[in-house]
Chain A
Amino acid sequence: MITETAQKQANVEVETPLLVVENLTRLYGHGCPRCLELTGPETGTNTCSNCGTLVACADVNFEVYEGEILGVVGESGSGKTTLLRCLYGDVAPTKGQAFLKSFGNGRQDIFQASSQQARYLQDFVMGMVRQNPAQGLHLHITAGGNIAERLLAAEWRNVADIRERSGALLNRMEVPLNRMDHYPAFFSGGMQQRVQIAKALANHPVLLLLDEMTTGLDVSVQAGVIDLVKEVQRESGVAIVVVSHDLGVIRLLSERTLVMKNGRVVENGLTDQILEDPQHPYTQLLVSSSNS
C-alpha cells in the first residue's frame, strides 16, 4: 500500500509544469522601498506616490502546463503585456525568475539567459503574436519571407523546402497561397494576424504567447482567428498564454485564467469558476460589465 501511494505521488510529480514564473516584477523608474506597498489594487494605482515609479507588474506567480491555454485578463495598464514581454525576453524584469522545462533542464532562469540564449528561446522555444502586426511582422517583406525568417534562423537553407513549409503554414492559417509573395502591409488586419500566427508557429514552439491578438478585428473575423488558434492548439499541443482585456476571448480559449489589476494577480483559477463565481470585487465588476 505504502509503495503504491509513493508511486502515485511519483506519478503526480512527473507532470512538471512547462513554465514556472516566480515573483515576476517589473518597475519603470528608480524605485523606492515603499513602491510595492503604495501600489496595487488596494490603493487603486500602479504609480508609487512616494517616488513616482510605475509598477507595471509585481510578484506575479503562475504555472503553465503542457498543452494548456492560460488566459490573462485585466484592464488596460494592468500589466498583462509587460508580463508577456518579460517572458519573451523583450524587456528584462526587475525581479523574479522563470523556468522553462526545455531550457537548461528546467533549472536555468530564463531571465538570466545570455542574449544568444534569449534569441534561441525566441526562435525555437516560444512564439509571440503581438497586438500590433507592425511590431510582429516586417510589413515590407513578403508574407512568405516573414515566415522564412524564423526558418532561416533555424538554418533552413533550401528555398524550395522553405517555401513548402511557409506555404503549408499560411494554408493552415487560411491565408490564400497566392498572397504568399505579397507584402503584409497590404493585407487586412485579420490576415496580418493570421500571418503573424503562422510565423510564430514556424519552428514548432512549445509555448505560444498571444498578446491581444483579436483586438481591433471585427467580431466575425475574431471568431475565425480564435477557432483557428483552438484547432492549431489541439493539433500541435502547444501551450498558450493568451492575454486579452476581452472576457469573451478568454472564455472561448482558456481553461485557466489569471485576473490582473494594477500590476497584481487578484484572482486565479478555472475560467468557468471565475466567470460564474467571481470572488474579487474587481473580477465581479469585470464579469458583470461584460455583456457576453
Chain B
Amino acid sequence: MLKDLITTEENYNYAFLDEGSKREIRRNLLKAVAIPGYQVPFGSRELPIGRGWGTGGLQITLSLIGQGDIVKVIDQGTDAGVNAANIRRLIERTAPDVTTTFQTSEATIIQTRHRIPEEKMQAGQLLVLQVPLPEPLRLVERSENATRRMHADKNYSRMWVALYEEIVKHGLLARAYSYPVMVNGRYVMAPSPIPRWDVEKLNNAEHLSLFGAGREKRLYAVPPRTAVVPLDFEDYPFTVEDFHGIRCQRCGAEHSFLDEITTEAGQKTYMCSDTAYCDEQVAKKVAEREMQKEFAG
C-alpha cells in the first residue's frame, strides 16, 4: 500500500525535466553560445535539490544528456563530494542509458563545481559549471537594471576602478576566485568561483564551457577557441597560484592545483585537488614500477 504511494524513477520524464523545459534551456544555450559571455535569462525549474546547490549546472546537464553520453560530476575537484555524488545519482536514476565515469578524457559531459579538470579537455567535450553569482558587476553595482545597462554599453570602468582600488589597498590584485574575465573582447564575465589557476584553461579552449546559475536564473557560455582574458594592468599582471617548491604528497605531481591539508600531527601537506588526476598519476607510477620489476626479473 505504502509502496504504491512512493514515486519511482519510472514515473519521471527522461532526465527528470519535462521536454518543454529542456527545449527552453537548449534554446537559451544556443543564444548563450552565439553571444559569448552574455548572460541569458532562463526559467529556472524546480529540482529535487535546493537552489544554490548546483541547480543551474544540473539543468544544463539534464537538458543535454542523451543515449550514449558519459557524464562525470565533480565538486571542488573530487568525484566523491556529496554534491557531486547526489547529482550523479540523480542523473543515473532518471537517464538510465547514460553512463557515468570518473575519468576526464572518457567523459562527454563534465559537470563541475568550482574547478576545471587538470587534464586538458578536448574538442567535443562539454564542461558545465555551476555558478552561484553570475553577475561580475554585482560587487560594484547593486541594481540589476544598472548592471545590464553597463554590459550593453560595455561600460566597465567601475569594475576596473574596483581592481585599481584593490591594488591601492593591498598592493596586488587580491581576488582568489571568480576572477573577472573579458570574453571575446566584449563582455566581462564571472568564470564561476574557480581558482585563478583554472581561469587560463578557459582561454582559447578546445572544449565548450556552459555556465548555469539556477538561483539567479542565468545561463552563459564560452565557445571553443574564444579569447578569455583576465582583467589586469600592465604593471600588475594577472598571476595564478604559486605552488613553487611544493608537490602532491600522494602522487608527486608538481603541476596541479594543490589543496593544503593539515595532518593529525599538525603538519602541512599538499594534495591534488583533482582526485581523478591524482589517481591517474598514482596508477601511472604503479605501472612504471611493475614494468621495472618485470625488466629486473
Chain A nearest CB from B35 CB (Å) reads 17
How near does chain A come to B142, taking the closest CB pair, in angstroms?
13
Contact of A144 among B152, B153, B168 (CB under 8 A): B168
Between A and B, 14 residue pairs with Cβ closer than 8 Å are A116-B153, A119-B155, A141-B161, A144-B168, A145-B161, A145-B164, A145-B165, A149-B161, A152-B161, A152-B164, A153-B155, A157-B234, A159-B234, A162-B164
Cβ–Cβ contact B167 & A159, under 8 A? yes
Number of interface residues of B (CB under 8 A): 17
Q: Which of B158, B167, B236 contacts A149 (CB 8 A)?
A: B158
Give 1 or 0 for each of B22-60: 1 = CB within 8 Å of chain A CB: 000000000000000000000000000000000000000
Query: What's the minimum C-beta distance from A124 to chain B, rounded to whole angstroms?
Result: 12
Of B157, B158, B233, which contacts A159 at CB under 8 A? Answer: B233
- Given A144-B168, A160-B235, residue A116 in contact with residue B154 (CB < 8 A): yes
Contact code string A246-263 (vs B, CB < 8 Å = 1, else 0) = 000000000000000000
CA distance A77 to B150 in the complex (A): 32
Residues from chain B with Cβ under 8 Å of A152 in the complex: 157, 160-161, 164
- Given contacts A115-B152, A159-B233, A145 and B157 within 8 Å (CB-CB): no
Cβ-based interface call for A142 (8 A): yes
Encoded as 1 (CB less than 8 Å from any A CB) or 0, chain B from 129 to 173 comes to 000000000000000000001001111011011001101100000
Neighbour of B233 across the interface among A138, A144, A158, A181, CB < 8 A: A158
Interchain CA distance A144-B161 in the complex, whole Å? 10
A87-119: CB near B (< 8 Å → 1, else 0) gives 000000000000000000000000000011001
Mask, A127-142, CB within 8 Å of B = 1, is 0000000000010011
- Nearest CB of chain A from residue B26's CB, rounded to whole Å: 32
Interface size class of A (residues with CB under 8 A): 20 to 34
Q: Give complex CA distance A162, B167 in Å.
A: 12
**Which residues of A sit under 8 angstroms from B154, Cβ to Cβ?**
116
Min C-beta distance of A157 to chain B, whole Å: 5
Asked whether A150 is an interface residue with its Cβ less than 8 Å from the other chain, the reply is yes
Q: Are B157 and A153 in contact (CB under 8 A)?
A: yes
Please name all residues of chain A whose beta carbon is closer than 8 Å to the beta carbon of B153 when the two chains form the complex: 115-116, 119
Residues of A within 8 A of B157 (CB): 123, 149-150, 152-153
A157 and B164 form a contact (CB under 8 A): no
- With contacts A148-B164, A159-B233 known, what are 8 further pairs, Cβ within 8 A? A115-B152, A144-B168, A146-B161, A148-B160, A149-B160, A150-B157, A152-B157, A158-B234
Interface of A is mostly: helix
A119 surroundings in chain B (CB, below 8 A) = 153, 155
A160 to B235, alpha carbons, bound, how many Å? 7
Considering only CB atoms, which chain A residue lies closest to B150 in the complex? A119
Chain A residues whose CB sits within 8 angstroms of the CB of B167 once the complex forms: 159
**A159 touching B164, Cβ below 8 Å:** yes
In the docked arrangement, what's the CA distance between A144 and B164, Å? 9
Whether A159 pairs with B161 at a CB distance below 8 angstroms is no
Q: Which residues of B contact A115 (CB under 8 A)?
A: 149, 152-153
Cβ-closest chain A residue relative to B158: A149
Report A141 CB to chain B, min CB distance, Å: 6
Task: Find chain B residues with CB under 8 A from A123 CB.
Answer: 157
Find chain A residues with CB under 8 A from B160 CB. Answer: 148-149, 152
Question: A149 CA to B155 CA in the complex, in Å?
Answer: 11
Nearest 7 Cβ contacts at the A-B interface = A152-B160, A153-B157, A158-B234, A149-B161, A152-B157, A159-B233, A148-B164
Task: Report whether B168 and A145 are in contact in the complex, using a CB–CB cutoff of 8 Å.
Answer: yes
Min C-beta distance of B218 to chain A, whole Å: 22
A159 pairs with B236, CB closer than 8 A: yes
A157 contacts across to B, CB distance below 8 A: 233-234
> Complex: how many Å from CA A145 to CA B164?
7
Q: Is the beta-carbon distance between A141 and B235 smaller than 8 angstroms?
A: no
A152 to B153, CA, bound (A): 15
A150, B161: Cα distance in complex, Å? 9
B168 closest partner in A (C-beta) = A181
Residue with the highest number of chain B CB atoms closer than 10 Å, among A116, A159, A160: A159
Interchain CA distance A222-B190 in the complex, whole Å = 46
A160 to B236, CA, bound (A): 9
Which residues, 162 to 213 on A, are CB-close (under 8 Å) to B? 162, 181
